[in-house]
Amino acid sequence: MEYRRVHSPGGTFFFTVLTFNRQTIFNHKNARTVLRDAFQHVRKNHPFTIDAIVLLPDHLHTIWTLPEDDGDYPTRWRLIKSYFTRNWKDRPIVQSASRIKKGEQAVWQRRYWEHQIRDEDDFIQHVEYIHYNPVKHELVSAPHLWSHSSFHDFVKRGVYEQDWGAA
């Protein structure tokens, strides 16, 4: 099956990326550190802006804005995933017969979901989805209680009140 991706230079995109079999690898501090390093490493040669992000135990959601002359987010994701896979040393051994046959590591789901942000309302809706996601998954009772989120930056900038999204 062939997957079609929108390549829109300068575009803003919402992504959902999952770990293989929903492994809770981001519960480990070392995994979070290596992922942060992967983002920084890739952004040096393939810049993009991270507009919002949340990291949950088994997946992440993020919004990126690409440079005006570049719409190649698939390369960025490939580089981030491969950097992480090569550099995360504390990973548990997860076997997958189909992946072993292809010489692949069983760390990431092969694909990811993307959505091109259409306008300001769409952007706001996806930012709120990102920041409320830890509450949706019942990890915390309010967004400000989840530390692995850009929510705290939005509070500092005055976009949200500290108690936004609290029950």
Q: Mean pLDDT over all residues of the chain?
A: 90
Residue 118 counted as domain residue: yes
Q: What is the DSSP string of 76-106?
A: HHHHHHHHHHHH-TTPPP---HHHHHHT--S
In a domain, 2, yes or no: no
C-alpha dist (Å) from residue 128 to 11, 99, 119: 19, 35, 14
Tell whether the model's pLDDT for residue 96 goes beyond 80: no
In a domain, 45, yes or no: yes
Residue 59 lies in a domain: yes
29 belongs to a structural domain: yes
State the pLDDT at residue 103.
Answer: 47
Residue 26 covered by a domain: yes
Domain range for 45 = 12-155
Give every CB contact of residue 164 below 8 A, 6+ residues apart in sequence: 131, 143, 144, 151, 155
* pLDDT tens digit sequence for 126-154: 999 999 999 999 999 999 999 999 999 99
Residue 49's pLDDT band (cuts 50, 70, 90): very high
| Domain assignment of residue 163, yes or no | no
Q: Number of folded domains in the chain?
A: 1
Residue 64 is part of a domain; what is its CATH number?
3.30.70.1290
* CB count in 10 Å sphere of residue 159: 14
Asked whether residue 5 is domain-assigned, the answer is no
Cα 121 to Cα 29: distance, rounded to the nearest angstrom: 34
